[in-house]
Amino acid sequence: MEGIFLVPIDGNGILICRNLWYTFVIFVNCNSVPSKSFDFGASQTPIKTNAPLISHVDQINLDFKEKEVEKYAKEHKLGYVNLRNFPINPDALVLVSKDDAVEGRFVPIHAAGKELRFAAVDPTNAKLKEIAASYTAKGFVVQLYLISEESLSFVLRLYDKQAEKVGVKVLELNEDALESYDKEIAKMSALVEHFQSMSDVDILNAILLGSVKTHASDIHFQPEKGRVLLRYRIDGVLHQIFILPPDIYENILTNLKFSASMKLNVGYKPQDGKLNFQVTGRQIDIRMSTLPTEFGEAVVMRLLDSKKSIATFDSLGLVGRNRAVLEAALQKSEGMLLVTGPTGSGKTTTLYTVLHMLNTPDVKIITLEDPIEYHLENISQSQIRETEGYTFALGLRAILRQDPNIIMVGEIRDQETADIAVQSALTGHVMLSTVHTNSAVETIPRLLNMGVKRYLVGPALNTIVAQRLVRKACTACRKEVPLTGKIAAEMTAAMTEAKKAQPELEIPSVNHIYEAVGCPACGNTGYAGQVALFEILNVTKAFEELILAEATPREMIAQAQKDGMVTLYQDGLLKVLAGLTTIAEVMSVTSA
Ligand SMILES: [Zn+2]
């Protein structure tokens, strides 16, 4: 039986209509029934009218529909559920993103071990089939149930609630929690023994809090055979915190991927996402990336503390002539300041410090960043989205139309960005950026390799800052060692060279340096905090001529030193003499 029946009751009416799957019974006000716009032939969409709906009729309506779906399911040998009466396992929902659920017109309703139950409106839906197949491929057994449209929209609403719940549950840490976790973190490895009695969310909280407590910059999850290593990067060095059982890791991973809006059912290709959590009112943004590996998805989380205070030249370790050169460079109203170094060498921190110093009410500053690590007042910061086509090059063109005085571009890594950056540096803009090179001088061939015209490189460049981060020796446990023998001779030779470059250089006169030891205060690492080593190349007229003359790197280094450049190695040894760090640290970052 298919068709529409209008049964008049007291001037209003009950509209009964049927199609293949559903029977609709809708209470309508006759005056509002449109005369000819109904077409229920194949539609599965509930009828919408302006009429007030009455609850008991509504209920009859729903019951009819459920019966129809149940009948259809029986005919097609499928299970049937009415999700209004079915307890949904909230953990099941996180297995499929809401977008996928909407597109596939289904919801995951149950997950236990490798057993999954999906409830679908249309078992032939392509997205549903694709996602079910992806789970089957991972060894899951997927059972399919039929549900009504009403059941589907009922559960889809739960998604938003679930998102809130996960968001709050996982990612808001209060003072009390901080206190209790703090004790645990003092002996993180002891935490492993409590895993069985802790919920997955508690374990994740402990991991996040631990990272904040230890001032970690990154959290790494590395799956290996039968175990997952959890490591923190603290002061640039990875420390193993503990080993997670794979089943606990699976749950943590699911929680994290859900919070970072990643596709939960995708584990076979890399994904990027963002999440954040609050620690005593401070928001920590996390940039998360996954990578499929032999034993599961590896995760790296970069912690971006938006309230972290901007460093000063002093706190960075920028002193003496280096500081004077950089400060002079900041007085110029055009040209390029490039900061170079490998990943994790503190380039961004230096650029932010520079931006902070340049940030006065009379200049317009715009940045292009990926990601925005610090939020700066009075500066327009724009987030690059390469995956959506918003590239550095595209952003840079757009920025120039915004009439800025100072531009900061997160990184120059392709010809297009390099060309526009050089052009803007030559046309009255201060251009700040970073390049991946090992030394200041290597930046010249790098720009040339990217396709920048040789005759433009010199005129566009003001200053190149190469830098590295080294760990500071822990002042609570560092050990004095006499400055004698080979080390003393090497030190004297390097300082003589440095003094040639900068005659005014003050060399600490000491008879001992320090070695790292390790104590509870520094987590037995021997180090606490970091300081940067700098190599600052001032692009003088003489240096520009060398670029034009296609000089060798050796000739360029000689000229740079003549112009006052102290090398990274020399600056490192100066910091050893000043008692800040150790020879081992300096060697580890300068002997490339
Ligand atoms: Zn110590």
Q: Quote the ligand 1 centre to 522 CA distance (angstroms).
A: 4
Q: Give pLDDT, residue 13.
A: 39
Q: Quote the ligand 1 centre to 47 CA distance (angstroms).
A: 72
Q: Quote the ligand 1 centre to 579 CA distance (angstroms).
A: 14
Query: Are residue 94 and residue 118 in the same domain, yes or no?
Result: yes
Q: Quote the ligand 1 centre to 277 CA distance (angstroms).
A: 30
Q: Quote the ligand 1 centre to 506 CA distance (angstroms).
A: 28
Chain-centroid distance of CA 52 in Å reads 48
Return the ∠ at Cα 164 (arms to 160 and 169), rounded to 5°. 145
Q: Quote the ligand 1 centre to 210 CA distance (angstroms).
A: 19
Q: Quote the ligand 1 centre to 479 CA distance (angstroms).
A: 10
Q: Quote the ligand 1 centre to 211 CA distance (angstroms).
A: 19
Q: Quote the ligand 1 centre to 184 CA distance (angstroms).
A: 20
Q: How confident is the model at residue 11 (pLDDT cuts 50, 70, 90)?
A: very low
Give the H/E segment covering residue 12: strand 12-18
Query: 528: which 2 tokens?
Result: 């606490």
Is residue 108's pLDDT more than 70?
A: yes
DSSP 250-313: HHHHHHHHHHTT--TT--SS-EEEEEEEEETTEEEEEEEEEEEETTEEEEEEEEEETTPPPP-H
Query: 237: which 2 tokens?
Result: 């060095």
Query: Are residue 463 and residue 480 in the same domain, yes or no?
Result: yes
User: Is the model more confident about 250 or about 515?
Assistant: 515
Domain boundary among 248, 283, 305: 305
Query: Are residue 366 and residue 463 in the same domain, yes or no?
Result: yes
Query: Are residue 47 and residue 95 in the same domain, yes or no?
Result: no
Q: Quote the ligand 1 centre to 523 CA distance (angstroms).
A: 7
Q: pLDDT digit string (tens) for 33-89?
A: 333 332 333 333 333 333 334 456 666 777 888 888 889 888 888 888 887 766 666
Q: Give pLDDT, residue 275.
A: 87
Q: Give pLDDT, residue 511.
A: 93
Is residue 336's pLDDT more than 50?
A: yes
Q: pLDDT digit string (tens) for 544-571?
A: 999 999 999 999 999 999 999 999 999 9
Q: Quote the ligand 1 centre to 351 CA distance (angstroms).
A: 30
Q: Quote the ligand 1 centre to 417 CA distance (angstroms).
A: 44
Give the H/E segment covering residue 569: helix 568-577
Q: Quote the ligand 1 centre to 214 CA distance (angstroms).
A: 14
Query: Are residue 279 and residue 426 in the same domain, yes or no?
Result: no
Alpha-helix runs per DSSP H in 330-452 = 347-358, 392-400, 415-426, 443-449
Locus of tokens 């549950």: 169
Query: Are residue 488 and residue 355 in the same domain, yes or no?
Result: yes
Is residue 585's pLDDT more than 60?
A: yes
> What CATH number should be reported for the domain holding residue 138?
3.30.300.160
What is the arithmetic mean of pLDDT over 398-413? 92
Q: Give pLDDT, residue 20.
A: 36
Q: Give pLDDT, residue 405.
A: 93
Query: Are residue 520 and residue 407 in the same domain, yes or no?
Result: yes
Q: Quote the ligand 1 centre to 509 CA distance (angstroms).
A: 25
Is residue 353's pLDDT more than 80?
A: yes
Q: Quote the ligand 1 centre to 533 CA distance (angstroms).
A: 22
Q: How many domains does the chain have?
A: 4
Q: What does the mean pLDDT of the chain come to?
A: 82
Q: How confident is the model at residue 93 (pLDDT cuts 50, 70, 90)?
A: confident
Domain boundary among 45, 75, 105: 75
* Nearest Cα to Cα of residue 350 among 463, 448, 189: 463
Q: pLDDT digit string (tens) for 47-61?
A: 333 333 445 666 677
Q: Quote the ligand 1 centre to 518 CA distance (angstroms).
A: 4
| Environment of ion ligand 1 (residues, CB < 5 A) | 474, 476-477, 519, 521-522
Integer Cα distance of 219 and 207 in angstroms: 8
Amino acid letter, residue 313: F
Query: Are residue 335 and residue 224 in the same domain, yes or no?
Result: no
Query: Are residue 271 and residue 328 in the same domain, yes or no?
Result: no
Locus of tokens 């789970």: 135
Sort residue 296 into left (φ over 0), alpha (ψ -120 to 50) or beta: left
| Beta partners for residue 26, in sequence order | 15
Q: Quote the ligand 1 centre to 474 CA distance (angstroms).
A: 4
Q: Give pLDDT, residue 3.
A: 41
Q: Quote the ligand 1 centre to 395 CA distance (angstroms).
A: 45
Q: Quote the ligand 1 centre to 195 CA distance (angstroms).
A: 29
Which 8-state DSSP code applies to residue 47?
P
> What CATH number should be reported for the domain holding residue 193?
3.30.450.90
Query: Are residue 437 and residue 581 in the same domain, yes or no?
Result: yes
Q: Quote the ligand 1 centre to 562 CA distance (angstroms).
A: 40
Q: Quote the ligand 1 centre to 285 CA distance (angstroms).
A: 29
Is residue 475's pLDDT more than 90?
A: yes
Q: Quote the ligand 1 centre to 572 CA distance (angstroms).
A: 21
Q: Quote the ligand 1 centre to 481 CA distance (angstroms).
A: 16
Give me Rg for the CA atoms of the chain: 32
What is the arithmetic mean of pLDDT over 559-588? 95
Return the ∠ at Cα 180 (arms to 178 and 184), rounded to 5°. 105
Query: Are residue 101 and residue 180 in the same domain, yes or no?
Result: no
* Nearest Cα to Cα of residue 323 among 573, 510, 505: 505
Spatial strand order in the sheet of 12-18:
3-9, 12-18, 23-28
> What CATH number should be reported for the domain holding residue 542?
3.40.50.300
Q: How confident is the model at residue 408 (pLDDT cuts 50, 70, 90)?
A: very high
Q: Quote the ligand 1 centre to 527 CA distance (angstroms).
A: 6
Q: Quote the ligand 1 centre to 516 CA distance (angstroms).
A: 8
Query: 279: which 2 tokens?
Result: 């620690």
Give, in order, the Cα–Cα distances in Å from 576 to each of 266, 345, 474, 480. 48, 18, 13, 12
Q: Quote the ligand 1 centre to 475 CA distance (angstroms).
A: 6
Q: Quote the ligand 1 centre to 217 CA distance (angstroms).
A: 20
Q: Residue 189 is part of which domain span? A: 174-305
Q: pLDDT digit string (tens) for 434-469?
A: 999 999 999 999 999 999 999 999 999 999 999 999
Q: Quote the ligand 1 centre to 108 CA distance (angstroms).
A: 51
Domain boundary among 20, 50, 75: 75
Q: pLDDT digit string (tens) for 200-237?
A: 777 888 888 888 877 788 999 999 999 999 998 888 88
Q: pLDDT digit string (tens) for 152-187?
A: 887 787 776 654 444 333 345 555 555 555 554 555
Integer Cα distance of 552 and 266 in angstroms: 49
Q: Quote the ligand 1 centre to 530 CA distance (angstroms).
A: 14
Helix (H, G, I), strand (E, B) or coil at 547: helix
Q: Quote the ligand 1 centre to 471 CA distance (angstroms).
A: 12
Q: Give pLDDT, residue 189.
A: 62
Query: Are residue 69 and residue 90 in the same domain, yes or no?
Result: no
Q: Give pLDDT, residue 427.
A: 92
What is the arithmetic mean of pLDDT over 4-27? 38
